[in-house]
Each structure stands twice: as structure tokens, then as C-alpha cells.
Amino acid sequence: MGTFARICRYISKSWPLFLVSVACMLVGTIVSVQIPLLTRDAIDDVITPLARGLDVELGKGMLFVLMLKIVGFTVVVGLFSFIRRYASTYFSQKVVYDIRNDVFVSLQNQSFAFYDKTHTGQLLAKVTTDMDRIRRFLGFQLAFLMTSVILLVVALYTMFSINTMLTLFLLPIMPCIFATFYLFGKKIRPVFTEIREQYGSLTSVLHEAITGIRVVRAFAQEDFERKKFTSKNDKYFETVLASAKISAFYIPLVGFLLGLGTITIFWYGGSEVIEGTLTIGDLVAFNAYLAMLAMPMRFFGMFISGFHQTMAAGDRIFEVMDAERQIKEKPDALTLPKLNGHVKFENVSFSYEKRRPILKNITFDAKPGETVALLGATGSGKSTIIRLIPRFYDVSSGKITVDNYDVRDVKLKSLRNQIGIVAQETFLFSMTIKENIAYGKPEAKMDEIVAAAKAARAHEFISALPSGYDSRLGERGVTLSGGQRQRVAIARALLMNSRILILDDSTSSVDVETEYEIQQALRALLKNRTAFVITQRVSTIRNADKIVVLEKGEIAEDGTHETLMAKKGVYYQIYQTLYETQKPIVETASERASSKQGETKQ
């Protein structure tokens, strides 16, 4: 279905408002066309006879009546114009409201792979400026088109009734004007598409520069970012100038053609007045109608330009809505019952791009209640493994099962509702701490929220805040420290009370003592739950029930801490390196923890 047809489908949902707008346009236009006729009557029936000796008092009375009629008609036109504008605005906002909701739903349903390939700035431009382009087209330009068409028909009919020959002299100019508009639209549409793309790129650079301002300042890369932004800004500027160049040629050409119409009126119409076959009032009225026609004729240029801009914007918006989701539910997908937490990888291979495998033949078994630590160098595939469990991506081959259900055979919501996740990059919303913790379980009671916060060792610092749990966080939770953000994120996952927990280096931003406290709380909470933990902390690795060591996307070793240490293989070397690095702080944390335990006993 074409872009315009799809927009019309949304229009059809609000057609009563559109009909009200069109009806008001029709009435207002018919009434406005009567005003030049009243002007003609004033000139021919009052002013000219007065000059020839008509009774002054009678003439003034007739003129006063005509002026009252003009005022009355103007009021009627204004009233219907008000109703039309309100209905048009309501109609356009309602159409865009529906499209915007559908786009947002589409964005929420898109696979992670979609966001891997799409710049945030481009998406923001599509949902904001492109959407506003459609709103302005429907609310102003489409309504104005209807007004122009009605005005064109009614004005031409009236002009023919005044003087057929004079109107016929003007008609050849109109195809020339339409041909000019057609050529203008044909040339301008690809330029407007490029403008939207360039604007999206510009927005992307701006978004990155703002969100990453701390990194920019830390590495003193202001000049680099400025050059990058200027480069995109230059391209956008040049593309806009290209569109202006096209408009600067074609729009004045239309004005020139309309000027020829004025010359025709005064040349032929003036001759008719001199010969007495046309009155001065008719000539004035005819000129007024030409002025009326100038508005719709000029507007057709604006409309064609606006139409092509809108179609370009619509193409970009529907491109988002039509983007194929890589993660799809089967029509007969099952709703998962309450899980025990048995997770199994069977010969799983995966690649983000063809011919670049990230995981190769991964096979291991995580039984209910086990904590599995994933260990390996950067790029070994640890994070990819945990992204496959909630089916953020689909395996390239092999399968993953939870309680013997293939994750591809179940409904996504029933799967993800039973998995608690604390990501490596902690993201908190610009809401209160209470709302952030209860994000996955909005119906949670306050005592449940507090219990989760205590388990994550977050309750103490939250209570110390001026508004406690009602404290509102800044964007991405910047008003909290890294460790505090991670503890809030851990509380959010714990509140879900999921059978499967995923902790992706979730204690990387907390000090060792806080990590020890969190681990103590997690030890009790992880009982009878399956947990997957990615971490470089030796205390966490050592306490895991199973350790899976990855190397270049393959399992190098797996087993318990004791069995792997006894092998003195890859794990042994990694652990020794980590332990030597962390030994001083691990011992300090253990001493502090022992001291706290002693104080508790006393």
C-alpha cells in the first residue's frame, strides 16, 4: 500500500471531522465569492449613478445597505472559518495521534537487532519532526487545498457568468501554471527526502554529543565533536539550499504567469469598458476574482511542495512501522506456566552478522537453583549467551530450552516475565526511586519494594535522601552514584521474584564491601532460583555452582571452582590473575564483613 493510501486509511478513522471541515469550507467559500458581486453592485448601482446625478441621500442609503450586506457576509465567512479551523486542527491532531501511537507500539515490539542498526537521532526525528510534517499537511495544507479547489470552481463559474470571452482568454494560462507545479513537484520530492535523512543524521550527532558530554569533556574532544556536527550541518545546509534553488525558480514563474492574467484583464476588459459592453463594476469584480484565484493557484505550488515533503516524511515513518521483526511469536505459541528454572543450551551457535560467528556449539545445563558464572575475555560471547535466554535474539542453530520448552515456541511476555535482569549498563528512568524499583511489577506494595531494596543493600542510602523512596531521579539516574544505580537495578530485578535471574556484571560499580553485602543477600535470594552471573569478581565466581569458561565463542572449560582449579587449565590461569589483582581489597572486605558479624553477635 502506498504512503498516501496508508495516510488516507488513518484519515478514514476521523472522517466526520473531515466532512465538517469540508462543509464549512464549501459554505464559507460560496459566501466569500458573493462579496465582489456586492462591490460591483455598489459601483454600478450607486457610485456611478451618483456621479451622474442620482439623489445623494438615496444613494447613501443604498450604499449603507450594501455595506451592511458585505459586513454580514464577512461575519458569516469568519464564523465558518473558525469552525473549519477548529475541526481541521482536531482532525489532523487525531490522525497524527493514531499514527504516533502505532509507531511507538512498533518501536516497542522491534527486535534488539533493529536498534543495533538504527541511530537514535534518526528515530527521534521520525517520531517528532516527520510526524509534525504530516500534522501540518493535514491540518493546514490539505484543508487549504479543499478550499482552493472549491474557490477555483465557484470563482470560475462566476467569472463565466460575468464575461465568457474574458474568462476564455484567461484559461490557457492555467494549464501552464499546473505544468509548472508538476515539474516543481517532480524535482523537489527527492530533495525533500534527502533533507529528512540529513536532518536525522544531524539529530543523531547532536543526541550522541549531549548524552556523551561527560566522555567528550573527559577526553577533551570538543573540537572533534564540533567538526563532526559542522560536517553534518553543512550537508543539511547545502541540501536545504538545493531545495530553495528549485523553489526560487518555479514559484516566481507561477507569479509571472498570474501577472499575464492581470495584463489580459486590463487589456481586453478595459477595451470592453470603453466600448460599453462591460461595466466598471464588472471589471473591478473580475479583477477581484482573479486576485481570489491567485491564492489557490499559488497555493497549489505550496501544496505540491508540502505533499512531497509529507510523503517523504510518511515514507520514513512507515519504514519504521514496516521494519521486519526478527523475533516473532509463532501463531500457536504457548504461555509458559510457572517455571522451575531449568535452562539448557544444546549445540547453540549464533552470529549477529553472517560469516562472523559469536558462539559456536555451546552446550551446558543449568539446573533449577544453580548459579552459573560465565567467565572469559571481552568478546568471548558471555553477554550474547544471556541475551539469548530471554530471546532478545534467536539462535542461528541449536536450541535453548527452559523447563524443556524451546524458547522459540512460547509467548515472549510469559518468558520474560519470569526472568529478572540486571544489565551491565544500568538504566533508570526519570521517575521516583519507588517507581523504578517497581517498574517490572507496578502493582507491588510498599513493603515489597522496601524488602527488595534492603536485599539489594539500597534501603539505607534511599532512606537518607530528602524524599526517600519518592525521590525523583534525573535522566538515566544521574543524580545517583554508579553503585547506587546498580543497587536500585538489582532491587528492581529482585522484586520480580523470577525463577531465573541474569546479573550482567551487576556489581562492577560498587565497592568491595558493598558487593560483599549484596552477595550475602543474593545468596539467600538465589536459593531455588537459576542465576546467570557475568563478573570479574573472584568472590562471586568462587561461590558459583557451575563456571563456564568461554574462549572465542566456545566453551573452553566448565565445572565447579574446585574441579577447574584442579585441572590447572584456562580457568586456573584466569582466576590466579584476577585473585592477585583483587587480593588486597578482597581481604579488606572479608575483615570488614567479619567485624560486622562480630558486632551483630555481641
Summarize pLDDT for 197-223 with one digit per residue, the tens: 788 778 778 877 877 776 677 667 778
CA–CA distances in Å: residue 363 to residues 343, 346, 397, 552: 11, 5, 12, 15
Kind plus residue range of the DSSP H or E element containing 361: strand 359-366
Cell of 470: 519518592
Nearest of 337, 369, 384 to residue 554 by alpha carbon: 384
In which band, very low, low, confident or very high, does the pLDDT at 405 lie, cut at 50, 70 and 90? very high
Q: What letter represents residue 195's amino acid?
A: I
At 529, the amino acid letter reads R
What is the dihedral angle through the alpha carbons of 317, 321, 322, 327, rounded to the nearest 10 degrees?
Answer: 140
In whole angstroms, what is the distance from residue 486 CA to residue 515 CA? 11
Given a contact cutoff of 8 angstroms between Cβ atoms, the answer to whether 236 and 198 are in contact is yes
Segment 177-181 shows an average pLDDT of: 75
The number of angstroms, rounded, from the C-alpha of 314 to the middle of its chain's C-alpha atoms is 13
Return the C-alpha cell found at 256.
Answer: 509571472
**Of the spans 28-37, 167-176, 249-258, 335-344, which averages the highest pLDDT?**
335-344
Tell me the range of 205-219, 220-234, 328-342, 416-430 where mean pLDDT is highest.
328-342
Residue 321 has pLDDT above 50, yes or no: yes
As a whole-number percent, the residues of the chain with pLDDT over 90 amount to: 7
Instruction: Count Cα atoms within 13 angstroms, Cβ side, for 523.
Output: 12
Task: Enumerate the H helices of 110-221 as residue ranges.
Answer: 112-117, 120-127, 129-136, 142-162, 164-170, 173-211, 213-218
Using DSSP's 3-state secondary structure scheme, residue 531 falls into strand
Find the mean pLDDT for residues 164-170.
82
| E strand segments, 231-323 | none
Cα angle 531, 535, 538; round to 5: 105
pLDDT per residue as tens digits for the range 35-55: 888 888 778 777 777 656 656
For residue 511, give the H/E element and its range: none
User: 357 and 403 in contact (C-beta within 8 Å)?
Assistant: no
pLDDT tens, position by position, 104-125: 888 877 777 777 777 666 677 7
What nine digits make up the cell of 8? 488516507
**What is the pLDDT, as a whole number, of residue 581?**
67
Strand 397-402 with 405-406, pairing: antiparallel
How many whole angstroms separate alpha carbon 69 and alpha carbon 41?
Answer: 11
Pick the CATH number of 3-322 from 1.20.1560.10, 3.40.50.80, 1.10.10.10, 1.20.81.30: 1.20.1560.10
**Segments making up each domain of the chain, as ranges:** 3-322
Distance CA 88, CA 143 (A): 7
Residue-wise pLDDT for 481-512, tens only, equals: 777 887 888 888 888 888 888 887 655 555 65
Q: Cβ atoms within 10 A of the Cβ of 32, count?
A: 20
The C-alpha cell that represents 137 in the structure block = 499537511
CA distance 417 to 402: 13
Q: Give the whole-angstrom CA distance, residue 104 versus residue 337.
A: 29
In terms of phi and psi (left: phi > 0; alpha: psi -120 to 50; beta: otherwise), the region of 327 is: beta
When computed from its CA atoms, the radius of gyration of the chain, rounded to whole angstroms, is 36
Is residue 503 within 8 Å of residue 535, measured between CB atoms? Answer: yes
Band the pLDDT of 535: cuts 50, 70, 90: confident
Separation of alpha carbons 338 and 425, rounded Å: 28
Residue with the larger pLDDT of the pair 510 and 414: 414
At 346 the pLDDT is 93
C-alpha cell at 204: 543523531
Which of 257-276 are b and which e, b meaning 16 or more Cβ less than 10 Å from the residue's Cβ?
A: bbeebeebbeebbeebeeee
Q: How much is the pLDDT for 399?
A: 92
CA 582, CA 579: separation in Å to the nearest integer? 5
CA 486 to chain centre: 28
Give the cell for residue 525: 535470594
Instruction: Give the pairing of strands 500-504 and 530-534.
Output: parallel
In the chain, pLDDT over 70 holds for what percent of residues?
85
Please give the average per-residue pLDDT across 58-66, as a whole number: 75
For residue range 264-286, what is the model confidence (pLDDT) as tens digits?
777 887 888 788 788 888 888 87
Q: Which helix (H) or strand (E) covers residue 539, if one does?
A: helix 538-543
Instruction: Give yes or no for residue 185 having a pLDDT over 60.
Output: yes
Torsion of CA 456, 460, 464, 470, to 10 degrees: 40
According to DSSP, the β-strands at 397-402 and 371-376 are unpaired
Cα torsion angle, 397, 398, 403, 405, sign: positive
Q: What is the pLDDT of residues 299-314, one digit of tens each?
A: 666 677 678 778 888 8
pLDDT at 51: 59
Cβ within 8 Å of residue 324, ≥6 positions away: none
pLDDT-derived band at 546 (thresholds 50, 70, 90) equals very high
